[in-house]
Structure formats: C-alpha cells, structure tokens
Chain A
Amino acid sequence: MKRIFQPSLVLPDRSRRRFIQGLAAGGAILGLSPLLKPVWAREAAATATGMAPVLSGTEFDLTIAETAVNFTGTPRMATTINGSIPAPILHWREGDTVTLRVTNRLTVPTSIHWHGIILPYQMDGVPGVSFKGIPPGETFVYRFKVQQSGTYWYHSHSGFQEQTGMYGAIIIDPARGNRIRADRDYVVQLSDWTDEDPMSVFAKLKKQSDYYNFNQPTAVDFFRDVADKGMGAALDKRRMWNRMRMSPTDLADISAHTYTFLMNGTTPAGNWTGLFKPGERVRLRFIGSGTQSFFDVRIPGLKMTVVHVDGQDVEPVTVDEFRFGPGETYDVIVEPKGDRAYTIFAQAMDRTGFARGTLAPRAGMTDEVPALDKPEWLTMGDMMGTMSHGDMPGMQGMGGIDHSKHAMSGGMAKGDVQDAQVPREPGMAVAAAAPIRVRHARTEYGPSVDMRVDAPRTNLDDPGIGLRNNGRHVLTYADLHTIGGPLDKRGAEREIELHLTGNMERYTWSIDGLEFGKSTPVHFRHGERLRVILHNDTMMTHPMHLHGMWSELQSPDGRFLARRHTISVQPAQRVGFLVTADALGRWAWHCHLLYHMDAGMFREVVVA
C-alpha cells in the first residue's frame, strides 16, 4: 500500500470565526485551547479534512474509528476511515485483485460498501444482506477482482455512519489506456454534515416532517401574490396543495438549517482549491456523497464537458450545470484559461445552502461566489405527471406551471421530432405517444402512501424543479449516452414494475407502499435480461441504487441511454432500465437518500 498525498492545499482564510458556511479551517479541532476541548476531544484523534490522501496498490488497511472534527465551531465526533473526511482515495487498477482489511475500532458494528463495483455479493458489504457486518474490534477482509474502471466511491452501509463521515472515492485505472485525456485530475466529493446526531434528525422528521423546511408558504407570500396577480390567482395557486395537504416547497427533507455542505471535506468558507495551469484540461470527478442532498453544480465562467458518468465513459456533452444526487458520479472536463480563479458552486436542491470550492492558478485566489437561486415551488407536473397540462382550464397559475419549454437539450429523443417544435409541458408528448398502463400495487391504497400518479411523465429531458428555464444549459438524463452501447444486446424477457412511495406527513418511505420490514425480496432469475420500471408516486426525487448489477437506462421509446448504478427518478416520473441478472446472490436495492432508505425505501434482490 503506497501513500501518495495530493499537493497540499493552503487554506486562504484561517479565521476561526463561525461562518454560516462553516469554519474556514474545517476540522481544525487542534486549534482549540486544550482547556476548551471537551474531554472526548482531548482523547480522540483529530480528523484530517480536506483533499483525501490517495492509497494505491492491491493491499489496503482501513481502520474505522471515531475521531474529533469541527466544521461549524462546535467540536463533534465523526466516524471516519483512516481518520480522514473524506476517507482515503483508493486507487485501483482494472484486472487487479484487491484485498481490503477493514478493522472496526468503533463500539458498534460497521461495514463498507463499494458503490458501483461489480463483485461477488459476499464482498458487497451490506449488513443483513450480503454479510453479517463487522463487529467491534474485528477485521473483515474484502477480496475481489476489479473488473471495471472509472470513478466510484465507498461508504458505510451501517446506520447513519455515512452521514457522520464514512465515505471516500475510488479511482480505477483502465487496463487499456484511458479514453479521457486530462492534464490534471481531481476528485470533487460533495457531502453534507450535521452537528446533530443523525438519529435525532431522523426522530425529528418523524415528529414533524417539515422541521427543517424554512421555505414554507406563508401569509406574507400570499399577500404578495394577491398584490401581484390578484386574489383569484393567489388562491388558485394554493388551493390544490392545501386541499391535498402537500407542500410545494418540500424539496429536501433536511436543509442547511442543520447541514453544512462540504466539498472534499471542506466547508464553503474553507474553500477547497484545485490548482491548474491556464490552458490545461482538468478532469473533475464529482461524487455525490450527500446523505440527503442533491447538488446543482456549476462553475461560472467555464463550460463543463461531461465525459464519464457512474464510472462509464459517455459521449461528451457540454453543459453549464448539472444536478446529481447521492450515489451518482459525474466526471467533467474543464479548460480554465487565464490568470483567474473559478468558483465551483454546488447549491443544494432546496436552495438553502451550498458547497463551494475554487479552481485557481495559485492557492489563495478566489472568484465571486454566486448567490443562491430562489427556491421554486414544485409544479403540478411534479405532483400529477402529465395530468397537469398547462392548457387545462382551472389550472392556470397553480403552482407556477411551467408553460414555456425548458431548454431542449441535445440528447432529446429523436423519436420526438413531431413534438420537438411544440412548446409543451415536459412529458406530454411522450406520454401521449406511448400508451402507459400504470399498475399500482394493492398496498398503495393505505396510510403509507400520500400520492399515486396515474399519468406519469416518462420524458428524461427535464432537468427538474429549480433548473427549468434558468437560462443555463442544464444536463438531463436524455443527454447521456454511454459509449459502446449496452453490455447485453438482448431485449427484456420480462418486466417488473416498482412504485416509489411515501407519506411525507408521517415521514414514511417505502416501495409499493410497503416499508422494508413488510416486504419480501424481489427475485431476478439468474441470467435473465429484465426490464425494470421505477414509477415515482411521490413529490421528491429518489436516487435509486441497485447493487451488484448495472441499470441500463432507456429512453422513453426504449433505446439504450446510459449504464448507471444509481438512477434518480423525479417526482411523478416513470423510468425504465434493463438489468442482466448475472450476479448470483442477495443484493440491496434502495433509495440513496439515507433517511429514505432507513425509513424503509429498501428492497432485497435475490438473484437465483
């Protein structure tokens, strides 16, 4: 095991004042006077934060322990791998067999899951599914052959340990030359940190599900709307939401009220900085390690060319911005020019906070940090799919329906030519072109479900709430084309349909209306090629991660788009993907929003 340290980065602002963006020198618990440190902090080792060290080779020793960290001005204990947040970057080579000895120095069981890695199920690291977990004091040896290359990551699959610091990047060099040429290569791992005990966060959501939402509609908003649009329109806008008891601002369950967003373990004030020489091609490997946060990423002044998604090379597509959720990875190439700095700005989907870093020719340089966008209300389309057509009388003004077309992106389904000219609500034409028979489960008619979508939208060219018509070119799933096409040319032999469900008021999350505890495993027949349909009967976006096998995303008309390990399904959206069930054993399949997963939006898959 070889330890290579990334070029050390000078933090430009060493002030220990508490920022809303967190401490400048995030994690600098050592800086506190010993007398001020709590007892446990005096005894615990400090967490190293910022750009993670790189471990290369085939043999790795990883130790999981509690270490002290301070992102906000309040010292806290983190759960870390080898004492750093993020955990070390594991640098593997395709074709090697790697051995990872994971030692648990916690007082509770732990685990590590290698996210997106194809391996025998016993090595997948999900306690209760693939193995028994790693008890305190014990070492578990993971050993498997690396059969792929690209950008991946790893994290704990036990309790809320991922929230408290257990995540790191995996970079696998291809056996045969890299298609993507870059002069510099940085991991940009985005995450969210809370000083609260994650279980206490969860318990609060169970008691009051809008606890962290401070963007709720108020009387002040109402009177503003009355003044702007008139009483009728203001009432219309609210009527449906209020009758249905759904919140149009439920964009993220957990906001910056408790979260500090991190880029490579560094607070916005700490400003993680990646250096470049003007004219260089810089590869940024964005990894979504937020436990409950979608990020909208852009670098003002630079175009980003997306070249690699979920570890797979894709046809390059150049955008201004992209959204990604927990579990997903996006590699982009940027070519910064001139003697200036560029801000990497990643605002949370609910617009309450952001992660931030800088690309600069020299350490210490900064660029302007953009203001957060204003949070938008969800639209009726996010609640009811294609039922919400803008032409509908009585619907005008409801929830800010998006009448004008959002930016048509390059990858727009070619089968949609007849509709491409017509301004429309996302999803309308596709739904009309392809008849959909929605099959709700019989367990979706009870208290666990607050919404069923009968006319879903199937189009993938919608960047999602808050990104529509924002004047920037935003990546959508329709733009993604994995190079080389599907791994398996067979068509689907059968189809299974699962509905993503929940009850926001009760803060319950489930699949087909059944939380994990009431579910039975989903059986994939060994060797079959099957089509999976995920149909989102909720108003939130769910990043669905199937372990052990690829999810080959299809366009609405059934063409191959992209090979994914995590697919984010938008509100009222219905997506299809193909899976080759070639991995015998038991696998996890779940929403990668950690609090949704823990609430029960989780299934076991049996391949037999």
Chain B
Amino acid sequence: MKKKRVNFIVVAMVALSMSAVWAQEPTAPAITTTEMDTMPGMDHSQMNHGSTPGATQDGMSGSAQDTGHDMKNMNKSDGMDSAGMSMRGGSAPVDARDPHAYSDGYDFGPIPRPRLADEHNFGSVLVNRLESVMTSDNTSATYDLQAWYGRDYDRVVLKAEGDIDNGTLEEASTELLWGYAVATFWDTQLGVRYDSGEGPDRTWLALGIQGLAPYWFEVDATAYIGDEGRTALGLEAEYELLLTQKLILQPRIEANAYGKRDPELGIGSGLSDMSAGLRLRYETRREFAPYLGVEWARKFGETKDFARAAGEDPSETRYVAGVRLWF
C-alpha cells in the first residue's frame, strides 16, 4: 500500500515535469498557464488565466500610464506573477524593434572584427553518476555522463549511461545528439541512440528536449524511434536542494516506456520501469563531489513479468555510493 502511494507521487511528478516541458516557452507565447495549473498548491488568484500574447504585450509593454492605471487591479487580473510570466520567451510582437535598424546598412570595417566568446567553442564533461550500486543480493556499477562541445546555442551532446555487473557491460545506452537552444532554459536534442550490452543491440533515432523547468527542475525527456516499429520514451528529472552551499541533496527520477514489446531484451510495451533516488553529495569543490544515496526501482507490466520469469526482483531498493564530477 505504501509503495503504491510512492509510485503515485512519482507518476504525478513525471506528469508534472512533462507538462512543464511541453508547456514551456518554445510552444507557448508567455509561459503558459498550463504549467501553472498543473502545479499543486499554486495560488491561482495570482495567475493570469486569460493571458494571450497580444493582451499581455499590451498590458505590460504599454505606457507607464497604463501600468499605473492597472496597478489597482493587478491582483485580480494581471497579477504580479503574470507580469513575470510574460517576461521572457514568447513571440515578438509585429511592431518589435529591429535590432539591426540602427546600422543604417553599415557593416564592419576592413579590419577583421573581434571574435568574442560567443564565437568560441567550449566543452564540458559531467559525470553525474559514477556509482557502486548495492542491492540485497548484488553489487554492480553504474555510470551516467553527459558531455557537450560547441557554442552557446548550438552544440554536440554525448550522453552515455550503463550498468556494469561482474565486469561485463550489462546494458549501455549511448546517444550522440545535436543540441539546439530553442528557449531561455530549453534545448532540443536530435540524434541517435545506440543500446548495447546483454541481448541484441538496438539503434534509435532520438528527439528530445532538455532544460530547466520552473522551480529549477532539471528535465530531460526524449522520444525514440527504432527499427521494426519500435518506439520509446525516456524521462529524467532532477532537483538540486542546497542544504548548505556545499552539501546538496539531489532527488532524481527516471522512467522509461516502450511502444512495442521487445522480449529479447525483456521489455514489455507501456511503462516499463521507473526509479526514484536521493543522493546526498558534498562538493569538496564544485567539480568533485562524493555522494551516498538510495534509490527505489520498480518494473511494470510485462517488463515486470519478464523480470520475474528471469528470477529477478521487479522492485528493489538500491544503496549507492559514488562521485559526481565534471571538467
């Protein structure tokens, strides 16, 4: 009973993150109310439910006279929060200023213009999880890293995740993606994923979105299309709770769903597995943090049956110890 409740919360969180992702700036003019409406415990009286791009623009960008006039009614219709909501993203109004208008056609001179950092490439490797995983009857290792190289709004992204048990790569998933910034906090990612390890390898096309949802939830949601009509959906969400400046609690959830059963890999169709973890890390420096954690993992549907048939426990509690590092 208790477990069910936990799962319900997890599902709710996933749904929440999903709606936050898809209701974000890229698809909606102002930060939409959808996102807010799904937030539990929000103060709806402050929301601007009727917000439309045009109206918001007029209301907020209008003369200060309007602003002053509106002040009295703000808490009723155009609350502060809605003002905040129109403060980024969206689509430019038709009369928005042309940023090149002041050039009057002038271009840079004969001397090659400076190349500043916006035209330099940067790169990063983040090993988010490099951990030893202990269950009641086994100890294995997991790695989960993300690297990127490129510019501010355009970059190559490499994601690699895998489990190593008894010295063999049990399952590994590696993605090579083109990340492209589409909104303040969101990048789309398009590329390929290659699964290897025990059982047959699988190749997928990947299309995802990664970024920061309201309240600092880091979200990564990707849809996959494989051969033989296979489809999959993967979702990860993380939060960084600063207990102190260096002691950080990281709740993390992950869920996977498949459109088609894949018995060779023990995967059923529908929601196949989900995990929720808490990792407590101490950043000895920003780039290096050892951690301890616990994770609850559960398989669902036919995937659960496959696991049972293979003699595995479809739900387990894992204790983890590892390091998070980046450079």
Task: Pick out which of these stretches binds chain B: A31-39, A206-214, A296-304, A479-487.
Answer: A206-214
Residue pair B67, A387 in contact (C-beta under 8 Å)? yes
Bound together, the chains give a CA A37 to CA B33 distance in angstroms of 62
Q: Is A145 an interface residue (CB 8 A)?
A: no
User: Is A444 in contact with B43, judged by CB distance below 8 angstroms?
Assistant: no
| Contacting residues of chain A (200-227) with chain B, CB-CB under 8 angstroms | 202-204, 206-208, 211, 214-220
Is B310 at the interface (CB under 8 A from chain A)? no
- Chain B's closest residue to A437 (CB) is B63
- Contact, CB under 8 Å: A512 / B97: yes
**A interface residues with partner B (beta carbon < 8 Å):** 126-129, 131-132, 202-204, 206-208, 211, 214-220, 240, 242-245, 380, 383-384, 386-389, 391-395, 431-432, 434-455, 496-498, 503, 505-506, 508, 510, 512-523, 586, 597-600, 602, 604, 606, 608
A440 to B88, CA, bound (A): 11
A450 & B103 in contact (Cβ 8 Å cutoff): no
Q: Give 9 CB contacts A-B under 8 Å.
A: A215-B245, A216-B245, A432-B64, A432-B67, A443-B99, A455-B67, A519-B100, A520-B103, A598-B117
Contacts of B119 in A (CB 8 A): 517
Q: Are B64 and A523 in contact (CB under 8 A)?
A: no
Chain B residues with Cβ below 8 Å from A522 are: 102-103
Contact A447 B183 (CB under 8 A): yes
Interface string of B41-72 (1 = CB under 8 A from A): 00101100000000000001111110110010
- Please tell me if B91 contacts chain A, counting CB pairs below 8 Å: yes
A388 to B100, CA, bound (A): 32
Decide if B264 is an interface residue (CB 8 Å cutoff).
Answer: no
CA distance A211 to B286 in the complex (A): 7
Give the residues in chain A near B75, CB-CB below 8 Å. 392-394
Restricting to B69-103, which residues have a CB under 8 Å from any CB of A? 71, 74-75, 79-81, 83-84, 86-92, 96-100, 102-103
List the A residue with the shortest CB-CB distance to B124. A207
From A380, A386, A496, give the contact of B64 (CB < 8 A).
A386
In the bound complex, residues from chain A placing their C-beta under 8 Å from that of B245 are 214-216, 218
Q: Which of B64, B84, B98, B102 has the most CB of A within 10 A?
A: B64
Taking A245-B214, A394-B75, A521-B106 as contacts, is the C-beta distance between A388 and B80 under 8 angstroms?
yes
Q: Which of B107-115, B252-260, B265-273, B296-304 contacts A (4 or more CB under 8 A)?
A: B107-115
Judged by a CB distance under 8 angstroms, whether B184 is at the interface is yes
A203 to B121 alpha-carbon distance, docked (Å): 10
Residue among B99, B108, B181 making CB contact with A506, cutoff 8 Å: B181
**Whole-angstrom CA separation of A346 from B273 in the bound complex:** 57
B84 with A600: CB separation less than 8 A: no
Q: Check B241 for interface membership: any CB of A closer than 8 A.
A: yes
Closest 5 CB pairs of A and B: A515-B118, A442-B96, A128-B114, A442-B92, A447-B181
Contact check, A394 vs B79: say whether CB atoms are below 8 A apart.
yes
Closest to B45 in A: A394
CA distance A127 to B71 in the complex (A): 49
Partner among A452, A606, A608 whose Cβ is within 8 Å of the Cβ of B87: A452
What A residues does B60 contact at CB under 8 A?
387, 454-455
Q: Which residues of B contact A (CB under 8 A)?
A: 43, 45-46, 60-65, 67-68, 71, 74-75, 79-81, 83-84, 86-92, 96-100, 102-109, 111-119, 122, 124, 126, 152-153, 181-186, 212, 214-216, 241-245, 286, 326
A392 CA to B72 CA, complexed, in Å: 8
- Chain B, Cβ-Cβ closest to A595: B117
The residue that A129 contacts in the complex, of B43, B68, B98, B114, with Cβ under 8 A, is B114
Contact in complex: A604, B108 (CB < 8 Å): yes
Known contacts: A393-B75, A453-B87, A517-B119. The answer to whether A447 contacts B184 by CB under 8 A is yes
Q: Closest chain B residue to A458 by CB distance?
A: B64
User: Known: A218-B242, A442-B92. Contact between A245 and B103, CB under 8 A?
Assistant: no
Asked whether, in the complex, the Cβ of B91 is within 8 Å of the Cβ of A445, the reply is: yes
Determine the distance from Cα of A215 to Cα of B244 in the docked complex, in whole angstroms: 9
Report A583 CB to chain B, min CB distance, Å: 15
| B107–A521 CB distance below 8 A | yes
List residues of chain B with CB within 8 A of the CB of A453: 87
Tell me how far the C-beta of B191 lies from the nearest C-beta in chain A, rounded to whole angstroms: 19
With A and B bound together, what is the CA distance between A438 and B83 in angstroms?
Answer: 15
Flag if A202 contacts B46 (CB, 8 Å): no
Which of B46, B84, B99, B105 is A244 in contact with, Cβ under 8 Å?
Answer: B84
A512 proximity list for chain B (CB < 8 A): 97, 99
Assess whether B244 is in contact with A516, with CB atoms less than 8 Å apart: no
**In-complex Cβ contact of B81 among A128, A217, A240 (8 A):** A240
| CA–CA, A243 and B84, complex, Å | 9
